[in-house]
A and B are shown apart, each in its own frame.
Chain A
Amino acid sequence: MIVKRSPLTFWERLYLPAILGGFKVTLRHFFKKKVTMQYPEEKWTVPPDYRGAPYLVRDQEGNTKCVSCQLCEFVCPPKAIKITPPGLSGPPADRSNAEKMPLEFEINMLRCIFCGYCQEVCPEEAIFLMKDYSLTGTSRAEMIYNKEKLLALGGTHNDRIQKWKWKAEEAKAQGVAP
């Protein structure tokens, strides 16, 4: 396509009127209410469904909810998650009939893109994207959050179903040792 460039008119060639027009805009904003936030002194309140850093949660009885199914490790696009399964000799799960929980759970926050796939895929509601968006550290190693840190940051999540507990109770009522 050929764009036709018409030559500047006399008024345009004068140059100063355009400058003055620009100053007018600046001046108008100068006296308006300010919208800039003074970050980091001032902090932003994130909206309710904000997707920040993913952390692990415990249920209301203090049990680790993650059962080490490794689906989040599988789904995570930038491969930020690394789970070490317990094997046969690992520590027993907090809830005995949930049979397992991770020996180690690491999220590399330098890799995480806060996409939320891990939360979406988790069948146990054990990982949630929380409100933290500004994570800092002084080394790369520090940015790899381990299980302990993730659980501490994640806190408690009220589990309305508590399926493992409920299954155990149902089995016990039927006379089958869970």
Chain B
Amino acid sequence: MTTVLESKPASPPVEKIKIKVDGREAEVPRLMPDWQGKLVPTTMLQACQIAGVEVPHYCYHPKLPVAGNCRMCLVEFGLPAIGPDRKPILNEDGTPKIIRQALPYDPNLPRGAIACATPISPGMEIYASSPATKQMREAILESLLINHPLDCPICDQAGECKLQQYSVEYGQSESRFAEEKVHKPKRVDLGPRIVLDDERCILCTRCIRFSKDIAGDDALGIASRGSHNFLTNYPGKAFDNNYTLNTVDICPVGALTSKDFRFQMRVWFLKETKSLCTSCGTGCNIVIGSREEKVYRYTPRENDAVNACWMCDYGRLNYKWIDRADRLKEVRKQKTDGGREPIAWTSALKEISEKLRTAAPGSVAIIASARQTNEELYLLAKLAKRLGARTDSVPRRGEADKLLFHADRNPNSTGARLTGFLSAEMGSNFNQIADAIRTRTIRTLLVFGEDVTKHGLSAALLKGLDALIVSDILPSPTVELAHYLLPGCAHAEKRGTFTNVKGRVQKLMKAVEPPGDARPEWEFLHELVFNVTGQNGFVSIEGLFHQMAKDVPALAGLTWAALGDTGVTVAI
């Protein structure tokens, strides 16, 4: 049985048309999806992309309505000549005659078209690297740079700036502009998370279109005229919605910068790791930018099945806890007098295994966060089955918004269910577990990544346990009471998978090293499971994933490699 679903609906047969890009023939579909996914005539820019020819562009963004205002994508092109009889005129050798498009008043001056908004037609020839196209690009760049402040040394965008990149690739090496530049406001406080530098803005309106058409907050606009044009927020109203930081990503230059990332690190030092946002059940795909074991920023990564190119500001800024100084770094055991002593991983795991192996059936309960990965929850489910343990997780709900932020604030509720860790509604077992601890039916409690004292298991109750085994990342009252404390990893410090609310199984990759002795939970859990159940564990995450795919019906047929960078949707 395989339950792997296609991520895209079956597409209707596509009509193809033949064009030529830089002299090479290419067959491209007549219709292609626009920013909303609606099929519209293919543009020259899309056709060139299919043909593998890059057309530089600023204002065009595949997920935004086309504006066609920057003119960077101008290309020279030709169309088949049509005779008075509406039939193509042929050359002597029988090939169709192509007419290079020229200005009506001077047939020697080539006429360009903006590739981002011009649909292709059969027989069209696009001259994406002709001398005329090159000249047009040089001229556009020259005009964009006329009033540009050339702030690169102090601009956070440097290194990932399209203006820098295209100037190097397509621009002129020298400036001919000797006049005084027009100055505009700098360091404008647009809102709580964004700083604007109007001198750097090239007026492409990407940010305006994003705010209006994607985020649904018509907050930005362009004021004034001519070279005094400048971007501004609605006077008196701060630019503040849960998606503002996406404008920083799509701004091709350094006009919009993030306050959080401002002057923190130059982008070329950042190691990029593909990962997931863990702040809600949507599971937006992200890139973690880190340097020397410190996370500097999250940026969204394109995945049309989940988050397109966007992520919310809340999730994006929710990373500061990863390198908190009070992270748990040490394996600890409670001494008989109540004090605590460090203990080695091997001894701790041996002692815990012994306790679990000899525990009476039904005397153990496991509470694990739905922030743990599929693999970890799967291993815990195995343990629970063997021990006849009651299990539960802590539900987290909030208010959803229209775009991405989901009401379920746990990143892996679906995984907790699918892997078999949760059999009942999340949170419904807590009272029973509390009662059973009170009546001393349950003598051992395993807690993974939650502060259970906040969820109905009071400190007094926990003190009555024979063994409280806790794995967590940050200190909490539950951690304080633990007989054994096993320091775990943040999602950025380990590999694994999450299943989002729609059933998309997606990978996390490791960006930074865990602090001190902390270890990925799945690593020590597989040892524990092996010791207790005798079933062979897996030392690699791939092996573990494949074992899970074999055991869990919902994940049947999945492989670690098949998940790729963007995951696979399973039936839930």
Enumerate chain B residues within 8 angstroms of A85, measured Cβ to Cβ.
Answer: 263-266
Judging by beta carbons under 8 Å apart, are B263 and A170 in contact?
Answer: no
Judging by beta carbons under 8 Å apart, are A74 and B183 in contact?
Answer: no
Judging by beta carbons under 8 Å apart, are B185 and A87 in contact?
Answer: no
Judging by beta carbons under 8 Å apart, are B186 and A69 in contact?
Answer: no
Q: How distant is B291 from chain A, measured CB to nearest CB, in Å? A: 11
Whether A177 contacts B185 in the complex (CB less than 8 A), given A69-B154, A69-B158, A100-B154, comes out as: yes
User: Complex formed: what's the CA distance from A98 to B264 in Å?
Assistant: 16
Report B166-194 residues with CB < 8 Å from chain A CB: 180-187
Enumerate chain A residues within 8 angstroms of B184, measured Cβ to Cβ.
Answer: 176
Judging by beta carbons under 8 Å apart, are A74 and B153 in contact?
Answer: no
Contact of B183 among A87, A88, A171 (CB under 8 A): A171
Enumerate chain A residues within 8 angstroms of B35, measured Cβ to Cβ.
Answer: none
B-facing mask of A28-69, CB < 8 A → 1, else 0? 000000000000000000000000000000000000000111
Q: How distant is A157 from chain B, measured CB to nearest CB, in Å? A: 16
Closest to A168 in B: B183
Q: Does B62 lie at the interface of the complex (its beta carbon under 8 Å from any beta carbon of A)?
A: no
Whether A87 contacts B152 in the complex (CB less than 8 A), given A97-B186, A170-B180, comes out as: no
User: Complex formed: what's the CA distance from A167 to B147 in Å?
Assistant: 12
Enumerate chain B residues within 8 angstroms of A177, measured Cβ to Cβ.
Answer: 185
Enumerate chain B residues within 8 angstroms of A167, measured Cβ to Cβ.
Answer: 149, 183
User: Complex formed: what's the CA distance from A176 to B181 in Å?
Assistant: 12
Judging by beta carbons under 8 Å apart, are B268 and A74 in contact?
Answer: yes
Q: Does A90 lie at the interface of the complex (its beta carbon under 8 Å from any beta carbon of B)?
A: yes
Q: Does B269 lie at the interface of the complex (its beta carbon under 8 Å from any beta carbon of A)?
A: yes
Q: Does A108 lie at the interface of the complex (its beta carbon under 8 Å from any beta carbon of B)?
A: no
Enumerate chain A residues within 8 angstroms of B152, measured Cβ to Cβ.
Answer: 69, 123
Whether A99 contacts B154 in the complex (CB less than 8 A), given A70-B266, A74-B268, A85-B264, comes out as: yes
Q: Does A86 lie at the interface of the complex (its beta carbon under 8 Å from any beta carbon of B)?
A: yes
Judging by beta carbons under 8 Å apart, are A70 and B269 in contact?
Answer: yes
Interface size class of B (residues with CB under 8 A): 20 to 34
Closest to A171 in B: B183
Closest to A96 in B: B187
Q: Does A124 lie at the interface of the complex (its beta carbon under 8 Å from any beta carbon of B)?
A: yes
Judging by beta carbons under 8 Å apart, are B181 and A170 in contact?
Answer: yes
Interface size (A, Cβ < 8 Å)? Answer: 25
Judging by beta carbons under 8 Å apart, are A74 and B266 in contact?
Answer: yes
Whether A100 contacts B266 in the complex (CB less than 8 A), given A123-B152, A171-B183, comes out as: no
Q: Does A138 lie at the interface of the complex (its beta carbon under 8 Å from any beta carbon of B)?
A: no
Q: Does A174 lie at the interface of the complex (its beta carbon under 8 Å from any beta carbon of B)?
A: yes
Q: Does B454 lie at the interface of the complex (its beta carbon under 8 Å from any beta carbon of A)?
A: no
Whether A174 contacts B182 in the complex (CB less than 8 A), given A68-B263, A74-B269, A85-B265, comes out as: yes
Judging by beta carbons under 8 Å apart, are A98 and B154 in contact?
Answer: yes
Q: How distant is A51 from chain B, measured CB to nearest CB, in Å? A: 23
Judging by beta carbons under 8 Å apart, are A123 and B153 in contact?
Answer: yes
User: Complex formed: what's the CA distance from A167 to B182 in Å?
Assistant: 11
Enumerate chain A residues within 8 angstroms of B265, measured Cβ to Cβ.
Answer: 70, 85
Q: Does A178 lie at the interface of the complex (its beta carbon under 8 Å from any beta carbon of B)?
A: yes
Report B135-161 residues with CB < 8 Å from chain A CB: 149, 152-154, 158
Closest to B264 in A: A87
Judging by beta carbons under 8 Å apart, are A88 and B268 in contact?
Answer: no
Q: Does B259 lie at the interface of the complex (its beta carbon under 8 Å from any beta carbon of A)?
A: yes
Point out which of A68, A86, A98, A171 has the most chain B C-beta atoms below 10 A from its C-beta: A171
A-facing mask of B66-78, CB < 8 A → 1, else 0? 0000000000000
Closest to B158 in A: A69
Judging by beta carbons under 8 Å apart, are A69 and B266 in contact?
Answer: yes
Contact of A176 among B185, B260, B269 (CB under 8 A): B185
Enumerate chain B residues within 8 angstroms of A176, measured Cβ to Cβ.
Answer: 183-185
Report B476-529 residues with CB < 8 Å from chain A CB: none
User: Complex formed: what's the CA distance from A86 to B262 in Å?
Assistant: 9
Judging by beta carbons under 8 Å apart, are A88 and B149 in contact?
Answer: no
Closest to A100 in B: B263
Q: How distant is A75 from chain B, measured CB to nearest CB, in Å? A: 11
Report B184-220 residues with CB < 8 Å from chain A CB: 184-187
Enumerate chain A residues within 8 angstroms of B263, measured Cβ to Cβ.
Answer: 68, 85-88, 90, 99-100
Closest to A70 in B: B266
Enumerate chain B residues within 8 angstroms of A123, measured Cβ to Cβ.
Answer: 152-153
Whether A174 contacts B183 in the complex (CB less than 8 A), given A74-B269, A123-B152, A123-B153, comes out as: yes
Judging by beta carbons under 8 Å apart, are B153 and A69 in contact?
Answer: yes
A-facing mask of B249-272, CB < 8 A → 1, else 0? 000000000011011111011000
Judging by beta carbons under 8 Å apart, are A67 and B153 in contact?
Answer: yes
Report A79-123 residues with CB < 8 Å from chain B CB: 85-88, 90, 97-100, 123
Additional A-B contact list (8), CB under 8 Å, known A67-B154, A85-B263, A97-B186: A67-B153, A70-B266, A88-B263, A98-B154, A99-B187, A123-B152, A123-B153, A171-B183
Give 6 nearest A-B pairs by CB, closest first: A171-B183, A69-B153, A176-B183, A70-B266, A99-B154, A123-B153
